[in-house]
Structure 1
């Protein structure tokens, strides 16, 4: 469509799909790694290793997101393009991987704290019945701490939905309706950054879409946080 002769059209669906693509990719990275590291820290790691490894993982949460965006653009994207030459310079896959790395500490820290809160009496009882460490972790510790673990997953997803700098730098600014992670996309937060640069006239339709997308983004993150609190309250076990 030529914007000089045709009125521009607006639709939030490409932005929602782009955001969903980032969330899915980041969840594939952060949830397994975060949960696995939490199980290792709480059940397998010696105390000396845990004292070193846990702060190291949590340091990742303190790194500014713009650093992750630069890392995605200069390190992750060239690696992806070496494997898939047709990949765009700005693509959803590198941005999703960077967001996943950033949200690993959120899943790991909350899950590990929940597992450490499981009473040792439950572990010792399982060991007395002949259970292995793996069986205790799988059948006792994780089910007992499951409400907090699920809440950490939801919070990580909420964090991925609201991420701005990484997707603005690495995912591009192409509002394309696609599920191909190798192409450039645009998320809701990326669109807000683009509109907020000041190029859109005040009071125009494009200006008003800023508030529409922002309201939708707030509604999504607010709903995810409500679900997280509901899970915590409904399934929480007190010992």
Structure 2
């Protein structure tokens, strides 16, 4: 009990074992190759770098899994609009993680906006870890563009567009929620995250919907990325620091 009380105050002297799942949602449209190359360079040492970032917070990763969602634009490149990996266990499957990221090639998408909200919805529905007293379910989204409004579905969608997609931004906000159960929603929206474990880290420009999302959704942090610059302005140290901060 004393340890729990100290942890709540942020003054625990006890290292905390935590099961961590991270989903990377990566914009792979034409401008984004610099960011993809940076993520690739992290893959083989990602767990070690993350553990360094967590050391001062006395948080120890017990089990770490990472998954990748690659997105472009359903309304332009519907055949290549979305790709999803399995969860990779790190460090055991770091080579498989590296291999998956290595095959991502930036291309397509045309003009913005892109399908970032659809990628976020898919990430929310990932099969996150349920075991462990302490868990973190973290979504990390990278984009240098705005997102298509979900309401655009009303004007027609490609044949492979997800049939169970949120109909509007309000649905997504409800799924994230502020309540006690299933992230606060009273409807079954297919979300697998736990309320006390959910975290959202946005590397995105101050454009729709990312600029408002950091204020509207709890447990969310955003690092500004220059529009259309492909993440050239993003430092890997900032990526590790923000992810570590979201887990701590």
Note whether the superposition's TM-score is higher than 0.5: no
TM range (shorter): under 0.3
TM-score (norm: length of structure 1)? 0.26
Higher helix share: 1
Q: TM-score, normalised by structure 2?
A: 0.26
More strand by share: 2
Return the index of the structure with the highest Cα Rg: 1
